[in-house]
Amino acid sequence: MPLAATAQHFLDVAAEGPDLHQLAPEQARAAIAALTPAFGIGDPVERIEDLEVPGPVGPVPVRLYHPGGSRRLPLLVYLHGGGWMLGGIPFADSLCRKLAARGNCVVVSIDYPLAPEHPYPAAVDAGYAVLSWAAAHASELGADSGRIAIGGDSAGGNLAAVLAQLARDRGGPSLAFQLLLFPSTDLTLDFDSIDKLADGYFLTRDAIRHFIAQYAGDHDIATPALSPLRADDHAQLPPAFIVTAEFDPLRDDAAAYTAALHAAGVPATLEDFDGQIHSFLVLGDLFAADANAAVDKVAAALRGALSPVQPPATGLTFPLDALPHGVGDAAVVFFYPKAGSQVCSAETRAFELAYDKFVEADIALFGMSTDDGETQSEFAATCGARFPLVSDVGATTARALGLLKHYDGHGDFADRVTLLLDGEGTVRQTWQVGEVAGHPEEVLAAAKALKNTRP
């Protein structure tokens, strides 16, 4: 497909300006700052707040975007692009407003330290500190700690992929999704698209090499913390939505990372925009309707991945024969995805901490896995849970109750939904994902009240 008209116009105008990578860092940053207002204001959101988060070498500035409403929403931690050298919170402001409003999520945008003054691993360390802080303070931010996504564009997409791997390897924070827009996933640049699209399409091969040299310094660029595609293992990472464009020199990076996730059994969708160039949707109004439509697709993917499945209506009958023993006068059953994955829920840990209180109150508590091959030992090793696990019929039961979501081409995954059952298996009360995390006492109180009403 030929270049889209919006892309061609942008390239014609950009050709009259300097090559940013040939400028001193402060000059290049000033040029980006001058261009940023042309991206547009973005969508209105109810709350925007600039904060500082404790970082490894000092405070890290962040900007919070909240679309409004009283319910706890999913949380997207976002890292801007700019070759690890340029950009900042204003650069991603228009896009973050749109993602918050259209994705119906809280967004925390990170102003990470830039190279060459702060080369690798400064941005990674700051990003992980903010991600950990956001997870720990999700409730204060109006967000749900059980539905956290990491995302970014270009160099920020690289950082987001690296942070998803670090979160897996360090045991948290637990991530439900990764949004990678035009990501650089292998800094060795060993891809055909780098050479085929080396010049004339906004992001050039020389610029990429310059950015990498300034960011990586003397470090081995093949290390996974710089090149996440080269990680030994891509299993147990969160599901991903990956965006690229037909005339993006990093196009093959995106495709290769998608393939690596697929090979590891991780759900991943690749969206390749015909006729467009690197980071066009980030540039907002400069790409008019094309960028707007692309953001709609990205926001829809974000909503679809992080929106909870609605619990079944009360009054339905739960199949008690699926449980390993009787339920007495009241029982609590909660569903969760494969425990070894990044989306092993905060509810699981909350119930584990409160388990003794359920035992003392004689309230049966069951965790129901929708990975039919998962064993009790696998579950316990990951989440530490002592209560009974139901796995062999978990997927069947969840499907019958409408609790499974389907990720394109990669099967079904359960959202975290909690049910209160009476002695006959009738569903008497339900909680959506996030409503239980950190508050299992609310479920226990409801179960006690139900038990006390039984004859």
pLDDT in tens, 222-242: 999 999 999 999 999 999 999
CATH number for the domain harbouring residue 68: 3.40.50.1820
The CA–CA distances, whole Å, from 90 to 43, 83, 350, 356 equal: 14, 15, 37, 49
83-92, 108-117, 299-308: least confident range: 299-308
* Higher-pLDDT residue of 195, 373: 195
Q: Highest mean pLDDT: which of 248-262, 355-369, 424-438?
A: 248-262
* Higher-pLDDT residue of 347, 75: 75
383: confidence class by pLDDT, cuts 50, 70, 90: low
**Any idea which residues carry the catalytic annotation?**
154, 248, 278
Q: What is the average pLDDT across 87-101? A: 97
Query: Residue 352: which of 391, 379, 392 has the closest Cα?
Result: 379
Reply yes or no on whether the pLDDT at 268 is more than 50: yes
Judgement on whether residues 324 and 287 belong to the same structural domain of the protein: no
Judgement on whether residues 251 and 365 belong to the same structural domain of the protein: no
Judgement on whether residues 282 and 335 belong to the same structural domain of the protein: no
SS3 271: strand
Q: Are 380 and 386 contacting, i.e. CB atoms less than 8 angstroms apart?
A: yes
Q: What is the dihedral of CA 84, 86, 87, 88, to 10 degrees?
A: 60
Judgement on whether residues 413 and 329 belong to the same structural domain of the protein: yes
Q: What is the dihedral of CA 161, 224, 19, 37, to 10 degrees?
A: 20
Reply yes or no on whether the pLDDT at 278 is more than 70: yes
What pTM did the predictor assign? 0.76
d(CA 399, CA 139): 30
Reply yes or no on whether the pLDDT at 340 is more than 80: no
Q: What is the average pLDDT across 412-440? A: 71
Sign of dihedral through CA atoms 405, 334, 338, 271?
positive
Reply yes or no on whether the pLDDT at 375 is more than 60: no
149-163, 192-206, 258-272, 352-366: least confident range: 352-366
119-128, 145-154, 260-269, 443-452: least confident range: 443-452
Reply yes or no on whether the pLDDT at 359 is more than 70: yes
Reply yes or no on whether the pLDDT at 277 is more than 80: yes
What pLDDT was estimated at residue 319?
A: 84
Within-domain flag for 229: yes
Q: What is the average pLDDT across 406-421? A: 58
371: confidence class by pLDDT, cuts 50, 70, 90: low
Give me the number of domains the chain comprises.
2
Q: Which two tokens stand for residue 188?
A: 């060795």
Reply yes or no on whether the pLDDT at 348 is more than 50: yes
47: confidence class by pLDDT, cuts 50, 70, 90: very high
Lookup result for tokens 């339920």? 327
Helix (H) or strand (E) holding 162: helix 155-169
Judgement on whether residues 56 and 28 belong to the same structural domain of the protein: yes
Judgement on whether residues 219 and 368 belong to the same structural domain of the protein: no
Q: How many helices (H) and strands (E) does the chain have?
A: 13, 15
Which of 280, 306, 332 is where one domain is finished? 306
Which of 277, 306, 335 is where one domain is finished? 306
Q: For 214-224, what is each residue's pLDDT tens digit?
A: 999 999 999 99
Reply yes or no on whether the pLDDT at 433 is more than 80: no
Judgement on whether residues 214 and 331 belong to the same structural domain of the protein: no
Within-domain flag for 313: no
427: confidence class by pLDDT, cuts 50, 70, 90: confident
Judgement on whether residues 273 and 335 belong to the same structural domain of the protein: no
d(CA 204, CA 81): 15
- The reply to whether omega before 121 is within 30° of 0 (cis) is yes
* Higher-pLDDT residue of 131, 346: 131
Within-domain flag for 157: yes
Beta strands of 106-211 (E only): which ranges?
106-110, 143-153, 177-181
Within-domain flag for 440: yes
d(CA 31, CA 28): 5
d(CA 21, CA 27): 10
Within-domain flag for 409: yes
190-194, 293-297, 434-438: least confident range: 434-438
β-bridge mates for residue 61, sequence order: 52
What pLDDT was estimated at residue 262?
A: 95
Within-domain flag for 434: yes
What pLDDT was estimated at residue 233?
A: 95
Whole domain around residue 237: which residue ranges? 5-306
d(CA 216, CA 208): 12
What pLDDT was estimated at residue 198?
A: 96
Within-domain flag for 314: no
Which of 265, 284, 306 is where one domain is finished? 306
Calculate Rg over the CA atoms of the chain. Answer: 23
Judgement on whether residues 429 and 324 belong to the same structural domain of the protein: yes
Q: What is the average pLDDT across 427-438? A: 67
78-82, 357-361, 408-412, 417-421: least confident range: 408-412
Within-domain flag for 86: yes
Judgement on whether residues 166 and 87 belong to the same structural domain of the protein: yes
CATH number for the domain harbouring residue 366: 3.40.30.10
Side-chain-side CA neighbours of residue 6 (13 Å): 20
Mean predicted lDDT score pLDDT of the chain: 87
d(CA 71, CA 179): 23
Judgement on whether residues 346 and 294 belong to the same structural domain of the protein: no
171-185, 305-319, 340-354, 402-416: least confident range: 402-416
Judgement on whether residues 436 and 367 belong to the same structural domain of the protein: yes
